[in-house]
A and B are shown apart, each in its own frame.
Chain A
Amino acid sequence: MQMDLIVDKQTKTVSITKEFEYNLSLVWDAFTKPELLDQWWAPKPWTSRTKVMDFKVGGRRFYAMVSPEGNERWAVQKYTSITPKTNFKFFNAFADKDENPELPGSDWDLNFSEQDGTTRVSISIYNESLERLERMIELGFVEGAKAQLKNLEELLAKLLQ
């Protein structure tokens, strides 16, 4: 199904909407259980490795995106609000391997709703800075295409001038 992705520079928000042909509780589980999250969160050939996950308000997920070469990019997501099977929010920040966050981070707001067996997920990501958003892209970007990544870096450098 079609995915919508809108970058609104004025509100510094990226909005992503996607529907899945599965019921809500299944989709909710895939977003909130570490063993399931690790199966899809990292775009291949990266892998996601969750070290700690305590899905409750005040709890956190500390995880790494691991490149095919074994390089780890750590991040921590601190849960700020949870309404079961409806919404959860977290504050995301890159971190070092000892869980020291690198600020600024981003605020994520994830909404879930079901209609006729189809679940709609709306994610909005608020970034304090464009640089951070770009870094996010850089980090999340599939390393397989190194040449492309280099292009992207050059492009971002240009855009940031």
Chain B
Amino acid sequence: MRRDVFQAIADPTRRGIIALLALQAMTPNALAEHFHTTRQAVSKHLRILTECELVKQEHQGREIYYQLEIEKMKEIDKWLEQYRKIWETRFTQLDDVLATIKKQKDEK
């Protein structure tokens, strides 16, 4: 089952994991220590993030390291960026309208 990316990043712990993995690849144990939680809990979050292709596993010897799928994160950024742009454009235009009507009122 493919999971919803936005659901994946809605959880604060998962966002924390993403933030940490952005700095370096980490093992589930190292992540669990960071969040003062169990390895099981971290593994569950990692499974969801993996299903969304936000992180991927890499075997180094006997250890499994998790690392960020940078391209996928960029996609989310881009999606939100589009939406943000719509509102920024709108509000810039609104600012102009407000300036115009204020001027008209002041002149009366």
A residues neighboring B (CB under 8 Å): 3, 5, 7-10, 14, 16, 18, 20, 22, 26-27, 29-30, 36, 39-44, 130, 134, 137, 140-142, 148, 151-152, 155-156, 158-159, 161
Q: B6's closest neighbor in chain A, by CB?
A: A9
- Complex: A73 Cα to B10 Cα, angstroms: 31
Residue in A5, A44, A148, A155 whose beta carbon sits within 8 Å of that of B83 in the complex: A5
Interface centre among B6, B91, B94 (most CB of A within 10 A): B94
B89 touches A26 (CB 8 A): no
Q: Given A158-B75, A159-B75, are A137 and B96 neighbors across the interface (CB < 8 Å)? A: no
Asked whether A40 lies within 8 Å of B86 as measured between CB atoms, the reply is: no
CA distance A14 to B89 in the complex (A): 17
CA distance A137 to B90 in the complex (A): 13
Cβ–Cβ contact A20 & B89, under 8 A: no
Instruction: Give the top 10 A-B pairs by smallest Cβ distance, nearest first.
Output: A40-B93, A9-B6, A43-B89, A40-B94, A9-B10, A22-B98, A39-B97, A10-B10, A140-B86, A40-B97
Query: Distance in Å from the Cβ of A154 to the closest Cβ of chain B?
Result: 10
Q: Kindly count the residue-residue contacts between A and B in the assembled complex, taking CB atoms under 8 Å apart.
A: 84
* Closest residue of B by beta carbon distance from A138: B82
Beyond contacts A36-B97, A155-B79: 16 other A-B pairs, Cβ-Cβ < 8 A, are: A5-B87, A8-B10, A9-B9, A9-B10, A10-B10, A14-B83, A20-B94, A26-B98, A26-B101, A26-B102, A30-B101, A40-B90, A40-B93, A40-B96, A40-B97, A159-B6
Asked whether any CB of chain A lies closer than 8 Å to the CB of B95, the reply is yes
Q: How many residues of B contact A (CB 8 A)?
A: 30
B90–A43 contact, CB under 8 A?
yes
Instruction: Report how far A139 CA is from B53 CA in the complex, Å.
Output: 27
Considering the chains assembled together, what is the distance between the CA atoms of A156 and B76 in angstroms?
A: 10
Shortest B81–chain A CB gap in Å is: 10
Bound complex: CA of A30 vs CA of B98, how far in Å?
7
From the candidates B79, B86, B96, B98, name the one contacting A156 in the complex (CB within 8 A).
B79
- Bound-state CA distance A40–B87 (Å) is 10
Contacts of A26 in B (CB 8 A): 98, 101-102, 105
Whether B93 pairs with A29 at a CB distance below 8 angstroms is: no
CA of A20 to CA of B98, assembled, Å:
9
Contact with A along B72-88 (1 / 0, CB 8 A): 00010011101111111
Known: A22-B102, A36-B101. Contact between A9 and B4, CB under 8 A?
A: yes
Residue B21 at the A interface, CB < 8 A? Answer: no
B90 contact set on A, CB distance < 8 A: 40-43
